[in-house]
């Protein structure tokens, strides 16, 4: 049994309220410590979601996991720091959950752990990525211009140009997910 499954089947004290309005300090003394326990499972859950990307190619030349691994590997080999590499790895983690809002999903997972610049990059990479293909599907390739005044425009533009839009090469030798598991565990447990 996994640590998560074991925790969820083990009897723990529970609060007794049926609405927040009737909750007590004693109830919250039970609930509050559980947040740290739940947070300790985030890395395992993220790794599981990344593995799920392997089974979805969405018509692209490589599956979504390989795209994510290529993006992270390219950033890592270019000397980017760990936080940036993690963002590169997880930027499309929400693709299988909700393709249209996948940047928001990834940004939501990463927000407590990354800089404002990297959070902006992940949250808005979809619009910036559109520069390379939206004109082929009837969209506005220049939609990213709405963010031109952002101090993070160039940061996000560079991410898409150097790492994200180039990461569809079936012959690229990317690092495996296992290579990044320690990074995921370190950063996502840091708070």
When pLDDT is cut at 50, 70 and 90, the band that residue 1 belongs to is very low
In a domain, 101, yes or no: yes
In a domain, 65, yes or no: yes
In a domain, 184, yes or no: yes
Here the CATH number for the domain that contains residue 154 is 1.10.3210.10
In a domain, 34, yes or no: no
Q: How far is CA 107 from CA 13, 150, 189, in A?
A: 33, 17, 16
In a domain, 23, yes or no: no
In a domain, 30, yes or no: no
In tens, the pLDDT along 84-133 reads: 999 999 999 999 899 999 999 999 999 999 999 999 999 999 999 999 99
Residue 182 burial (C-beta neighbours within 10 Å; 0-12, 13-18, 19+) = exposed
Question: In this structure, which long-range contacts are made by residues 74-82, counting pairs with CB atoms below 8 Å and at least 24 apart in sequence?
Answer: 74/162, 74/163, 74/166, 74/167, 75/159, 75/162, 75/163, 76/175, 78/162, 78/163, 82/183, 82/186, 82/187
Domain range for residue 100?
42-188
pTM (whole model) above 0.75: yes
**pLDDT reported for residue 6:** 53
Count structural domains, the chain. Answer: 1
Q: Which tokens in the block code for residue 21?
A: 């309005």
In a domain, 92, yes or no: yes
**pLDDT reported for residue 190:** 59
pLDDT of 35 strictly over 90: no
In a domain, 88, yes or no: yes
Of 58, 57, 97, 91, the residue nearest 74 (C-alpha): 91
**pLDDT reported for residue 12:** 80
pLDDT of 139 strictly over 50: yes
Beta carbons of 131 and 160 less than 8 angstroms apart: yes
């Amino acid at each position: 049994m996994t640590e998560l499954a074991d925790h969820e089947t083990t009897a723990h004290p529970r609060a007794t309220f049926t609405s927040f309005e009737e909750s007590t300090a004693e109830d919250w003394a039970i609930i509050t410590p559980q947040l740290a326990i739940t947070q300790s499972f985030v890395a395992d859950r993220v790794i599981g979601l990344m593995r799920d990307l392997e089974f979805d190619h969405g018509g692209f030349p490589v599956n979504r996991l390989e795209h994510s691994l290529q993006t992270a590997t390219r950033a890592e080999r270019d000397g980017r720091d760990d936080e940036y590499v993690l963002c590169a790895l997880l930027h499309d983690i929400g693709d299988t959950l909700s393709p249209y809002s996948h940047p928001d999903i990834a940004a939501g997972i990463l927000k407590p752990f990354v800089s404002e610049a990297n959070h902006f990059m992940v949250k808005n990479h979809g619009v910036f990525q559109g520069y390379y293909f939206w004109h082929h599907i009837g969209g506005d390739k220049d939609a990213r211009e709405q963010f031109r005044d952002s101090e993070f425009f160039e940061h996000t533009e560079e991410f898409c140009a150097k790492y994200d839009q180039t990461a569809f090469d079936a012959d690229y030798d990317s690092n495996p997910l296992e290579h990044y598991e320690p990074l995921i565990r370190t950063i996502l447990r840091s708070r």
